[in-house]
């Protein structure tokens, strides 16, 4: 069997020239062989190729091929070996393209994940911002109030302290009442035991009559008004709870509406805690947990609210207690100075006695200079003067404050409400007028219940359990008033 002479390829062309298809060195040798000089070229791998010629023909073709295409022969080598080498190049190129496609797919997937994560992160931030703005809007809508100012904010901040004070006052009201009774009783006991015998021995008959008359009258007025202030109900509106529909409740809660209840109770507003009609000048007491007619305040020393029916008793008690304390302080000033000097002298002598007793035996110790009764007397006088002076200062300031409110026809709560209303109307160039004020003198007459001149004696200077004007549910013109007052809410 004949073989075609070949020479080995020294410098094979690069692999890239086989992929481009424009260089003939990348074409298999079998595809360049033709059946004759004018034949058509057929690929070596084609099934329709002509049968092989004799050995001479193969030698001529091979020689012509080597002369015509020396680069192709050198690149491809033998027919079978060149085919394997060309196929290896194609396989390497296909592997490289597949690796490139895989790398590009991985990179696209990575970029897509990064882009998706960024979008998701931006979406979460956007949703968080929307939730924040929505919550801020809800909070402002819930807390919105056109009358909100610094006082309202301060009251809101002190709400926990108010809650604590309310509960402490509710449970310690009995203790405060017992303290008032105990202190007052101690002063009365000291006066009767220590001072009254001294007054009867040293004062003139005129001064003795004065002290006995005024002291007992003042004591009776204090006891009477304190007892009435504790035991008298301040006045409560009828407990008519509402069970209306939504539309009716909405129309009822409008400011200035009027609701007629079962017993002709005219409510100008609705208590948001009692859910019941609230007449004019009525306010809710958080300690008593009820609405109080013409509420002034809750007094822990009375363990009761000060309202429409016991306001006069409360003020009279404060007034007469202040007068009694001032009377005791002025009357006992000389005795207080003597008692205080005696106590200082007792301290000095006691100190000297102890120094002498340190150098003597028990039987040689001198007896005490002052007896127990003398010590108790002097200390009781000092205690009486200090306590009465302190109460006179504190309770006197409270009495003056309430006297000013009564002169203006206001309560403690209405004073703050009218102040805000006065400032609001002043900004609009208007003047606020208290609809419940009848003038300074007439306000006192209405408050004390003086309808005729003799009532100054029977209702003011003497104990009197008479009721105040009106029922506290409505505020008509009192009978002691002859002229018409300013119309309600006249501005």
Just list the catalytic residues.
299
Distance, CA of 427 to CA of 450 (rounded, Å): 38
The packing angle between helices 372-408 and 311-331, to 10°, is 140
Candidates 100, 65, 96, 76; CA nearest to 9 is 76
In sequence order, the 6+-apart residues with CB closer than 8 A to the CB of 294 are 235, 281, 282, 307, 308, 311, 411, 472
User: Measured in whole angstroms, how far is the alpha carbon of residue 188 from the centre of its chain?
Assistant: 48
The packing angle between helices 159-190 and 372-408, to 10°, is 130
Q: How far is CA 48 from CA 37, 87, 133, in A?
A: 18, 22, 82
Candidates 326, 330, 296; CA nearest to 311 is 296
Distance, CA of 44 to CA of 32 (rounded, Å): 8
Candidates 323, 345, 387; CA nearest to 189 is 387
| Cβ-contact 442, 484 below 8 angstroms | no
């Amino acid at each position: 069997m004949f073989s075609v002479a070949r020479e080995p390829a020294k410098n094979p062309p690069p692999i890239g020239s086989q992929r481009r298809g424009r260089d003939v060195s990348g074409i298999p040798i079998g595809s360049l062989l033709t059946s004759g000089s004018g034949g058509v070229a057929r690929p070596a791998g084609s099934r329709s190729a002509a049968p092989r010629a004799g050995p001479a023909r193969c030698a001529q073709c091979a020689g012509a091929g080597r002369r015509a295409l020396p680069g192709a022969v050198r690149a491809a080598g033998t027919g079978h070996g060149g085919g394997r080498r060309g196929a290896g190049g194609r396989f390497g190129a296909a592997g490289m393209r597949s690796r490139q496609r895989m790398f590009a797919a991985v990179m696209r997937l990575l970029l897509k994940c990064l882009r998706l994560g960024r979008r998701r992160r931006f979406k979460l931030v956007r949703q968080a911002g929307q939730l924040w703005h929505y919550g801020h809007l809800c909070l402002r809508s819930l807390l919105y109030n056109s009358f909100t100012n610094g006082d309202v904010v301060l009251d809101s901040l002190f709400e926990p302290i108010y809650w604590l004070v309310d509960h402490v006052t509710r449970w310690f009201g009995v203790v405060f009442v017992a303290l008032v009774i105990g202190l007052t009783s101690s002063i009365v006991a000291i006066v009767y035991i220590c001072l009254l015998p001294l007054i009867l021995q040293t004062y003139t008959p005129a001064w003795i009559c004065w002290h006995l008359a005024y002291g007992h009258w003042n004591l009776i007025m204090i006891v009477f008004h304190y007892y009435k202030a504790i035991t008298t109900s301040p006045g409560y509106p009828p407990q008519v709870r509402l069970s209306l529909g939504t539309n009716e409740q909405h129309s009822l809660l409008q400011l200035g509406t009027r609701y007629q209840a079962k017993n002709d109770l005219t409510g100008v507003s609705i208590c948001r805690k009692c859910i019941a009609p609230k007449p004019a000048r009525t306010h809710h007491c958080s300690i008593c947990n009820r609405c109080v007619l013409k509420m002034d305040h809750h007094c822990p020393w009375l363990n009761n609210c000060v309202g429409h029916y016991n306001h006069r008793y409360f003020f009279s008690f404060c007034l007469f207690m202040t007068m009694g304390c001032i009377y005791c302080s002025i009357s006992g000033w000389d005795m207080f100075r003597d008692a205080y000097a005696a106590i200082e002298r007792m301290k000095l002598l006691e100190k000297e006695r102890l120094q002498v007793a340190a150098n003597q035996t028990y039987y040689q110790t001198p007896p005490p200079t002052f007896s127990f009764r003398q010590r108790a007397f002097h200390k009781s006088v000092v205690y009486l003067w200090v306590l009465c002076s302190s109460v006179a200062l504190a309770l006197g300031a409270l009495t003056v404050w309430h006297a000013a409110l009564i002169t203006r026809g206001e309560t403690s709560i209405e004073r703050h409400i009218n102040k805000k209303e006065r400032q609001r109307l002043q900004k609009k160039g208007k003047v606020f007028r208290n609809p419940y004020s009848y003038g300074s003198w007439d306000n006192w007459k209405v408050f004390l219940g003086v309808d005729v001149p003799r009532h100054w004696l029977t209702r003011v200077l003497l104990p009197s359990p008479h009721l105040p004007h009106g029922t506290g549910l409505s505020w008509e013109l009192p009978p002691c008033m002859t002229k018409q007052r300013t119309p309600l809410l006249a501005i």
